[in-house]
Amino acid sequence: MVIETNITKMFGIKHPIVAAPMGPFHTTDMCIAISEAGGLGVGAIAM
């Protein structure tokens, strides 16, 4: 089931799911998995 919202149209994604950066618990694997599933995976960079 595809849910169409302004966010899905803006980013060209299938599902309005955004995976936010979560500090030391976030990995690129999670970003990739969310993106491949049709959501928007967001990574964090600590400086």
Pick the residue with more confidence: 35 or 21?
35
Determine the average pLDDT of the residues in 5-13: 89
Determine the average pLDDT of the residues in 7-26: 78
**CA atoms of 2 and 12, how far apart (whole Å):** 12
Q: Which residues pair with 41 in a beta bridge?
A: 19
Place of tokens 């993106």: 35
Q: Is the pLDDT confidence value at 27 over 60?
A: yes
* Per-residue pLDDT, 26: 60
**CA atoms of 30 and 40, how far apart (whole Å):** 11
**CA atoms of 17 and 14, how far apart (whole Å):** 9
Q: What is the pTM of this model?
A: 0.59
